[in-house]
Homo-oligomer: A and B are copies of this chain.
């Protein structure tokens, strides 16, 4: 693939998510040849994806061209590629654009939506793990509102104005809050011919509280905030099916809706070719030791969501969020340098910097060790931390401007139906091309 062979060790990184780019950035400063592969030409800042799907931000605010990372060093190479398999015996991977040999391979492919084998949901629900998916949700919301304006069938209008989300983790909470704000702030202005009260947002969660991974304090606060915004919360409820028209659950709750967003689970996105012992089957994730080495391999590593590093403190691995991925990427870079110097690798130790979620304007919750707080100050902390971690000055500045603008004007500027989701899906017969 036109990458010169040099005396340097070649590290091939699969995936330009949080783990992949942290590792790449650090390694590019050292004496390694770094080959970064991704099926997109950009890094996605997933924590803010929900703002793309609710017209608050355009993709360029939260996506960052991966070539702007590899170009920092003449030893860095990016290739737009989809990995098809690993041939570990000869240190080789197969991709849609050809083979790559490696000295070290780092799998940082992250996770994907888990539909738990439910076909009706997989076919009809909207996922939100990628920029195109977020844009699809943005289009669908706006298309539904436009259609609700013109329909004379009140049942149809109700379904068009019903927004149902499954899974009250951070994504479900943040997205339902943002949709509620669309209703509260934008609908009365943009759609005076619709009755804002007819628009409903339902958040369905299988567990007994929202934000199950966070503290009970955070859950309570978040639930209160969501209710203030008018989100209807259904706890201890599991979605059974969605045929494109009706969501059914294991209780007597069933909801007619044109928009069903599924954020009730993720599963690993592993690569074909490693032996069975490498993978924790049920989770679809690689079992790694505390050097992030994949079980059974010397020179194959996994970091971030795709890796399960079991420890006493984290018997099921670290939480599948940005921080463990970033820290593992940085740590692995240091270990590669140690190996280069003939030293031993050092075990990874996760530094829990806390978790947070935002529900809307002035409303967020933060768990920071024993410190738990929510509301206005938490919202500021949330914004500051997210701006801080956004990659690139330009992205930070544009995001910041949009937030200030939206805050002052109670507005969300990117209310554009650029590629109508429904129209495209009808022509193509599936959403293959829009993913």
Quick check: B79 and A149 within 8 Å, CB to CB? yes
CB < 8 Å neighbour of A1 from B135, B150, B424: B150
Quick check: A59 and B418 within 8 Å, CB to CB? yes
Quick check: B40 and A417 within 8 Å, CB to CB? yes
A1 → chain B closest CB, angstroms: 5
- Residue A146 is within 8 A (CB to CB) of chain B in the complex: yes
Interface-lining segment among A19-27, A116-124, A228-236, A393-401: A393-401
Quick check: B71 and A192 within 8 Å, CB to CB? yes
- Residue A375 is within 8 A (CB to CB) of chain B in the complex: no
6 A-B contacts (beta carbon < 8 Å): A2-B152, A58-B59, A60-B416, A80-B417, A394-B402, A419-B434
Quick check: A71 and B433 within 8 Å, CB to CB? no
Q: Could you say which residues of chain B place their CB within 8 Å of the CB of A418?
A: 59, 63, 131-132, 135
Task: Name the 4 nearest CB pairs between A and B, nearest first.
Answer: A58-B58, A60-B414, A67-B190, A80-B146
Q: In the complex, which residues 377-435 of chain A have their Cβ closer than 8 Å to any Cβ of chain B?
A: 392, 394-395, 397-398, 401-402, 405, 409, 411, 413-419, 423-424, 427-428, 432-434
**For A1, A392, A423, which residue has the most chain B Cβ atoms within 10 angstroms?**
A1
- Residue A336 is within 8 A (CB to CB) of chain B in the complex: no
Q: Could you say which residues of chain B place their CB within 8 Å of the CB of A427?
A: 428, 432-433
Assembled-state Cα–Cα distance A142/B409 (Å): 35
Q: List residues of chain A with CB under 8 Å of any chain B CB.
A: 1-3, 40-42, 58-60, 63, 65, 67-68, 71, 74, 77, 79-80, 97-98, 131-132, 135, 142, 146, 149-150, 152, 189-193, 392, 394-395, 397-398, 401-402, 405, 409, 411, 413-419, 423-424, 427-428, 432-434
Quick check: B398 and A394 within 8 Å, CB to CB? no
Quick check: A67 and B417 within 8 Å, CB to CB? no
CB < 8 Å neighbour of A189 from B71, B146, B192, B193: B71
Oligomer copy total:
2
**For A40, A98, A417, A418, which residue has the most chain B Cβ atoms within 10 angstroms?**
A418
Q: Could you say which residues of chain B place their CB within 8 Å of the CB of A80?
A: 146, 417
Q: Could you say which residues of chain B place their CB within 8 Å of the CB of A405?
A: 394, 397
Assembled-state Cα–Cα distance A390/B394 (Å): 21
Quick check: A416 and B79 within 8 Å, CB to CB? no
Quick check: A142 and B41 within 8 Å, CB to CB? yes
**For A40, A60, A79, which residue has the most chain B Cβ atoms within 10 angstroms?**
A60
Quick check: A193 and B2 within 8 Å, CB to CB? yes
- Nearest residue (CB) in B for A435 is B419
Q: Could you say which residues of chain B place their CB within 8 Å of the CB of A71?
A: 189-190, 192
Quick check: B65 and A150 within 8 Å, CB to CB? no
Q: Could you say which residues of chain B place their CB within 8 Å of the CB of A428?
A: 427-428, 433
Assembled-state Cα–Cα distance A394/B74 (Å): 39
Quick check: B417 and A419 within 8 Å, CB to CB? no
- Nearest residue (CB) in B for A190 is B67
- Nearest residue (CB) in B for A404 is B397
Quick check: B398 and A150 within 8 Å, CB to CB? no
Q: Could you say which residues of chain B place their CB within 8 Å of the CB of A416?
A: 40-42, 59-60, 63, 65, 131
- Nearest residue (CB) in B for A135 is B418
Quick check: B65 and A415 within 8 Å, CB to CB? yes
Quick check: B413 and A60 within 8 Å, CB to CB? yes
Q: Could you say which residues of chain B place their CB within 8 Å of the CB of A419?
A: 132, 419, 433-434
